[in-house]
Amino acid sequence: MKINNLENISARAKEAESYNQQFEKKSVEMILVWAAEKFAGKIVFACSFGAEDMVIMDLIYKYKLPIEVITLDTGRLPGETYDLIEATEKKYGLAISVYYPQTSTVEKLTSEKGLFSFRESIANRKECCQIRKIEPLRRGLAGKKAWITGIRKDQSVTRTIAQKMEFDEANQLFKINPLLDWSEEMIWEYIKEKKVPYNDLHEQGYPSIGCQPCTRAIKKGEDIRAGRWWWENPDQKECGLHGYCKVSKKS
Ligand code: SF4
């Protein structure tokens, strides 16, 4: 049984690699159109409402792509993110499925460890991300064949090993990162030119936005993800949604 699974993972990884080679000459639009057709009815865009994700949202709308949009409400998001979710729904008229953490698990966590246990250790922080992000994401991806993300290589040291198409072993489906090679400038050029809605916090020194208690504004010259879990080392700063942290620590 285990061997069959390993063979399957290896075959899927090879398949992802062959798509990756085809993606080299494809634009973001072409990748999204291809993916919507290839994984018809079984593809989802997990939107965090960051600037990159708003570009993808705009393209899904522009090309009327049949890609389901989901998001995770951890219960700790900043008010500005909720404002953006509403503005996005109004502008694009897209139905966005929101996944929440399990109430009983959050109640257990906060009653046993308090509201800010994630600041006490990396293990506690990962536990909170597991409950509020990873488990709801698993439900959002259940039964799907592929998911789309807005990650870019130059966002952090943990993301330099990412590929445009990967086989996501943890969630057992393909993961597509069409904006991987885009720079921050390209993202903002697109947003301004197409008048795409974005999070007000971006104007206040927040290039990367997650949960409110785990995100701060950055100072001039700081890395763009310096404001996320700022009390941890840069090579550990992943919540587990993208699974690059473990690999990057070896390099
Ligand atoms: S980012 Fe912070 S508050 Fe949000 S799930 Fe992770 S540890 Fe919890």
- Residues 179-226 pLDDT 10s: 999 999 999 999 999 999 999 999 999 999 999 999 999 998 888 888
pLDDT interval class at 248 (50, 70, 90):
very low
Annotated catalytic residue within 129, 211, 239, 245: 239
| Inside any domain, residue 53 | yes
pLDDT at 179: 96
| Inside any domain, residue 213 | no
| Inside any domain, residue 226 | no
Pocket test for ligand 1, best of 129, 206, 242 (most atoms within 8 A of CB): 129
| CA dist., res. 17 & res. 19, Å (int) | 5
Which atom from ligand 1 is nearest to the alpha carbon of 132?
5
Query: Which residue is closest in CA terms to ligand 1's atom 8?
Result: 128
- Ligand 1 centroid distance, CA of 120 (Å): 12
Query: Which residue is closest in CA terms to ligand 1's atom 4?
Result: 211
Q: Give the chain's largest Cα–Cα span.
A: 52
Domain with residue 130: its CATH number is 3.40.50.620
| Inside any domain, residue 55 | yes
Q: What is the side-by-side order of every strand in the sheet holding 146-148?
A: 96-99, 68-72, 43-46, 146-148, 173-176, 165-168
Query: Which residue is closest in CA terms to ligand 1's atom 1?
Result: 211
| Inside any domain, residue 136 | yes
Q: Is residue 47 annotated as a catalytic residue, yes or no?
A: no
Number of structural domains (the chain) is: 1
pLDDT at 5: 76
Type of residue at 75:
G
pLDDT interval class at 228 (50, 70, 90):
confident
Query: Which residue is closest in CA terms to ligand 1's atom 2?
Result: 214
Q: What is the mean pLDDT of residues 125-150?
A: 97
- Give the range of the structural domain holding residue 113, as residue numbers without chain letter: 2-204
Q: What is the mean pLDDT of residues 118-128?
A: 94
> Is the pLDDT assigned to residue 251 strictly greater than 60?
no
pLDDT at 249: 33
> Is the pLDDT assigned to residue 247 strictly greater than 50?
no
pLDDT interval class at 239 (50, 70, 90):
low
Exposed/middle/buried for residue 230 (C-beta within 10 Å: 0-12, 13-18, 19+): middle
pLDDT at 12: 87
pLDDT at 6: 79
Of 122 and 3, more confident: 122
Place of tokens 């090993």: 161
- Alpha-helical regions (H) of 25-159: 28-38, 51-62, 79-92, 103-113, 122-129, 135-141
Q: What is the mean pLDDT of residues 97-118?
A: 98
> Is the pLDDT assigned to residue 250 strictly greater than 50?
no
Q: pTM higher than 0.75 for the full model?
A: yes
> Is the pLDDT assigned to residue 246 strictly greater than 70?
no
- Residues 40-63 pLDDT 10s: 999 999 999 999 999 999 999 999
| Inside any domain, residue 216 | no
- Ligand 1 centroid distance, CA of 144 (Å): 25
Q: Which residues line ligand 1 (CB under 6 A)?
A: 74, 76, 118, 125, 128-129, 132-133, 210-211, 213-214, 239
pLDDT at 240: 65
pLDDT at 2: 65
| Inside any domain, residue 245 | no
Asked if residue 139 lies in contact with residue 113, where contact means CB atoms within 8 angstroms, the answer is no
